[in-house]
Amino acid sequence: MKKILFIIMLIIFLISNCVYADDENENYENIIQENEKKEIIETANSDTKPTINSRRYAVYDRLSGRCIYGKDENKQTAMASTTKIMTSIVVVENCDLEDVVTVTAKAAGTGGSRLGLRTDDKIKVLDLLYGLMLKSGNDAAVALAIHISGSVEEFSKLMNQKAEELGLKDTNFVTPHGLDNSEHYTTAYELAKITDYALKNETIAKIVKTKTATIYINGNSMQINNTNELLGNVEGVYGVKTGFTNNAGRCLVTSVKRGDMDVIIVVLGADTRKDRAKDTMKLIEYAYKRFYVFNVEEAIKQEFELWKQINQNRIYVNKAANSLELKLDEVKIKKVATDMNPAIEINVVSYIEAPIDINTRIGTVTVKIGDEIIEEIEIKAQKEVKKRGIVDYFSIIAKIYSGTIKIFNKDEI
């Protein structure tokens, strides 16, 4: 009797601790009812901050690369199958999409959400990518990892190398699928940065906005559907990826574009599929109600031209043979989503010695939103300023005697 009781308890334990890396074969159509959508929009219009169930979230502005709204967005956390966004990056950058993959027993035996691969199946890399990002196949993730690197462990090294290239400090990958592991984590903000990079790839961008795709395994067609519940149901949504494990909770990364404003919404640690969908929609509507696109480049250039008219000749260049002319370096952040107009500050030296080489740094234009510096552009010498020579001094003396110029300070010569 005790033995039977032990077996029953063990089964219950295993079931309760079973991990999944995403939702599959579930109906996501109209997960948010029309009356709920209306309520979310009305709340956003009232300027009331949204009540969010998810434990961590970020609203990321793709124009400037900034998190414009969030909660615990820099806290390390599990991210379940949103991991596969980085997996897709490594795949498209490291192999031919037309390669045919032979599925190994290890890939075929991977648990959690599955594409349904079996040992020795033949399938193209591109079809595996659709199975990875639409159906969230863990078996597809492992098949791709083994095809590219020979093992999950070696593939994870490529994932971490890419994370380092992207400047991520709080992200570490152990698997290509995202099943729970204490050493596998990211943050909402860094996951948004990964997604932003991924969406710049045409293949990935095309895949994640696809609702339904037909793929081929062993030459046989198979139709798969996207697990992203907001795709096609919320205005402007064009991707990206769902996720779920017991540790990570319900996760959703969503890209949205309305007009010029392009944002990525990351919600991590929601309790239910409906919560993550509603949280995401609340953040979308709040962002598009509160924030607007500000043309940083245009504002900087206008401010700089006005400043030059008044101040350029006030910079004293000692022993200069010709006048100093200024120019702006390249403005990196052209536009920004913001809830307030940025402040523009111009600072230059008041005194400098000739000669001055072309492109010598003379000062900076600093752009701030609140206390945050979002851009700093160098002000440089547009052309060379030569130091006065003997000929220049004779010319000055001649002008003095002719009364053309007057000298008030010995430094003038």
Residue 239 has pLDDT above 70, yes or no: yes
- Report the 3 state secondary structure along 250-310: EEEEEEEEECCEEEEEEEEEECCHHHHHHHHHHHHHHHHHHCEEEEHHHHHHHHHHHHHHH
Q: How far apart are CA 349 and CA 305, in angstroms?
A: 17
Q: Are residues 111 and 224 in the same domain?
A: yes
223-254 burial: b if 16+ Cβ within 10 Å, else e: ebbbbbbbbebbebbbbbbbbbbebbbbbbbb
The whole-number pLDDT of residue 322 equals 93
The pLDDT value given to residue 27: 52
Distance between CA atoms of residues 382 and 302, nearest Å: 18
Choose one of 238, 273, 290: the last residue of a domain.
290
Residue 336 has pLDDT above 80, yes or no: yes
Q: Does 352 lie in the same domain as 214?
A: no
Return the pLDDT at 31: 81
Residue 9 lies in a domain: no
- Please report which confidence band the pLDDT of residue 5 belongs to, taking 50, 70 and 90 as the band edges: low
CA distance 82 to 242: 6
Average pLDDT along the chain: 90
Burial of 286 (0-12, 13-18, 19+ CB in 10 A): buried
Q: Does 323 lie in the same domain as 272?
A: no
Question: How confident is the model at residue 6, as a pLDDT?
Answer: 52
H/E run at residue 148: helix 138-149
Separation CA 63–CA 287 (nearest Å): 14
Is residue 11 included in any domain, yes or no? no
Q: Are residues 271 and 325 in the same domain?
A: no
**Residue 44: its pLDDT value, please?**
85
pLDDT of residue 45: 84
Evaluate whether 315 touches 363 at the Cβ level (below 8 Å).
no
Residue 8 lies in a domain: no
- Determine what percent of the chain is predicted with pLDDT higher than 90: 81
Contact in structure between 124 and 10 (CB atoms under 8 Å): no
Q: Return the DSSP state at 383.
A: S
- Identify the CATH number of the domain in which residue 146 sits: 3.40.710.10
Query: Binning pLDDT at 50, 70 and 90, where does residue 29 land?
Result: low
Between CA 162 and CA 191 the distance in angstroms is: 13
Single out the residue of 48, 81, 323 nearest to residue 180, CA to CA: 81
Q: Is the pLDDT reported for residue 294 higher than 80?
A: yes
Report the C-alpha gap between 187 and 37 in whole angstroms. 28
From the list 81, 88, 113, 156, the catalytic residue is 81
Q: Are residues 93 and 216 in the same domain?
A: yes
Considering the domain architecture, whether residues 232 and 322 belong to the same structural domain is answered as: no
Do 356 and 317 form a contact (C-beta atoms < 8 A)? yes
Active site residue 46: no
Q: Is 255 exposed, middle or buried (0-12, 13-18, 19+ CB in 10 A)?
A: buried
pLDDT in tens, 160-210: 999 999 999 999 999 999 999 999 999 999 999 999 999 999 999 999 999
> Could you give the C-alpha distances from 281 to 37, 42, 77, 230, in angstroms and in order?
8, 12, 22, 8
Per-residue confidence at 19, pLDDT binned at 50, 70, 90? very low
> Using 50, 70 and 90 to split pLDDT, how confident is the model at 33?
confident
Q: What is the largest CA-CA distance in the chain?
A: 120
Judged on CB neighbours under 10 Å (0-12, 13-18, 19+), 13 is exposed
Q: How many domains does the chain have?
A: 2
Alpha carbon distance 5, 151 (integer Å): 39
In a domain, 275, yes or no: yes
Does residue 360 fall inside a structural domain? yes
Q: Check whether residue 319 and residue 250 sit in a common domain.
A: no
| Statement to judge: residues 315 and 245 lie in one domain | no
Higher-confidence residue of 334 and 2: namely 334
16 belongs to the catalytic site: no
Residue 42 has pLDDT above 50, yes or no: yes
Q: Per the domain annotation, does 13 fall within a domain?
A: no
Residues 395-398: contacts with CB under 8 Å, at least 24 apart: none
Host domain of residue 235: 20-290
Out of 232, 258, 290, pick the residue that ends a domain: 290
pLDDT of 112 strictly over 80: yes
Indicate whether 256 and 389 sit together in one domain.
Answer: no
Same domain, yes or no: 150 and 273: yes
Q: Which of 84, 162, 282, 380 is catalytic?
A: 84
Return the pLDDT at 47.
Answer: 77
Mean of pLDDT values over 222-226: 96
The pLDDT tens digits for 62-78 are 999 999 999 999 999 99
Q: Has residue 6 been placed in a domain?
A: no
Contacts of 409 (CB under 8 A, 6+ apart): none
As a whole number, mean pLDDT of residues 322-344 equals: 96
Task: Give the whole-angstrom CA distance, residue 22 versus residue 9.
Answer: 26
Pair 46, 129 in one domain: yes
Mean pLDDT of 18-46: 71
Buried b (16+ CB within 10 A) or exposed e, 190-209: bbbbbbbbbbeeeebeebbb
Catalytic-role residue among 54, 64, 88, 136: 136
Residue 100's pLDDT is: 98
For 340-396, write each residue's pLDDT tens digit: 999 999 999 999 999 999 999 999 999 999 999 999 999 999 999 999 865 555 555
Question: Do both 265 and 402 map to the same domain?
Answer: no
- Any catalytic annotation for residue 136? yes
Q: At 40, which helix (H) or strand (E)?
A: helix 34-45
Residues 6+ apart with CB under 8 A from 412: 396
* Position 1 in a domain: no
123 in helix, strand or coil?
Answer: strand
Domain boundary among 268, 290, 312: 290
* Token couple for 339: 């809830």
List, for residues 132-154, the tens digit of each pLDDT value.
999 999 999 999 999 999 999 99
Evaluated on CA atoms 104, 108, 114, 117, the torsion sign reads: positive
